[in-house]
Amino acid sequence: MTAVTHEVDLLVVGAGPAGLFAAYYAGFRGMSVAVADALPEPGGQITAMYPEKMIFDVAGFPAVRGRDLVAGLVEQASQYNPVYLLGRAAANLSTEEDGFLVRLGGSERVRARAVLITAGIGEFSPRPLPAAEGWTGRGVVHFIPDLSAHSGHDVVVVGGGDSAFDWALALHPVARSVTLVHRRNRFRAHPGLVRKVTDLGIPVITPAEIAEIRGDEEGVREVEITVDGRRDVLPAQTVVAALGFTADLGPITEWGLELEKRAIRVDSSMRTNRPRIYAAGDVATYPGKVKLIATGFGEAATAVNNIAVELDPEAHLFPGHSSDQT
């Protein structure tokens, strides 16, 4: 297959909130931008894990649904036409005379004068549900990007953390029934979340485990659970395996960057130890770091402004306020 090469001023690796805001801000600074992400949709963890959850710590929004925040960031960046390379993980990075050549998954390459890594916690994979082998995508899901797809279903949520209880709450208004199953009597979830679920009358079965998932060619039909040595059968067309996930930075760890506990060390300008490679958002670390979406937005703007000067020494670090441009 012939390799396709995109040539841009800035490659943003990671399409979460910090990466999307960086795409907007780099466009505002006059740069051409490509945004690469291993996930098939923009939004990073928000889109994959909690698109329906309300977020309360983004400045200017008393509360904003995850999906709506991502949509707003994509719309904000769209005025500068960034190139989205989704479903393509960044792999090899090689240095060229005026920047870098980054190979993505598949046959695509990006030639960029600078790189900004906004990869969050990196590539993450859901922990498997042993009884679900062969049923993933046929009724067993780990994330729910669209609640309406499960309208009228009997849903069994497996897990005891915040995500499990979040999904139970989100699905309750649209599903025919929701039952939460956890193998312990105690939960990792915040007590307030647990209380909300129980107050709604959502059945919570503990200590219980999924023994078997049964169905037909159309998908899951029921699950058999073990509870205190006995076996019960629950109707289910959707099984949500909310058992957490594992994450790592993948090939980025081989790019020659200084790492600290699965994060990339940066200075106050968001520079890494390699010229023209910057990092922002949860993937970046420095003394006093606070991991918030709001923090990532500021770091993205700081990185982009410093990149602008590094690419053009005659550029100003601070370009003025965007409101001055109208």
Q: What distance in Å separates the CA atoms of residue 24 and residue 73, rounded to the nearest whole number?
A: 8
Helices (H), 232-292: none
CB proximity list for 263: less than 8 A, separation 6 or greater: 282, 283, 284, 285
232 assigned to a ligand binding site: no
Instruction: Choose among 50, 247, 30: nearest CA to 162.
Output: 50
CB proximity list for 37: less than 8 A, separation 6 or greater: 13, 14, 15, 16, 19, 44, 85, 86, 87, 88, 89
124 assigned to a ligand binding site: yes
181 touches 225 (CB < 8 A): yes
Q: What distance in Å separates the CA atoms of residue 192 and residue 284, rounded to the nearest whole number?
A: 31
Instruction: Choose among 1, 72, 4: nearest CA to 42.
Output: 72
Q: What distance in Å separates the CA atoms of residue 55 and residue 53, rounded to the nearest whole number?
A: 6
Buried b (16+ CB within 10 A) or exposed e, 49-68: bbbbbebeebeeeeebbbbe
177 assigned to a ligand binding site: no
282 assigned to a ligand binding site: yes
278 assigned to a ligand binding site: no
Residues in the chain: 326
- Residue ranges of the binding site: 37, 45, 50, 90, 124, 282, 323
- Residue ranges of the binding site for FAD: 37, 45, 50, 90, 124, 282, 323
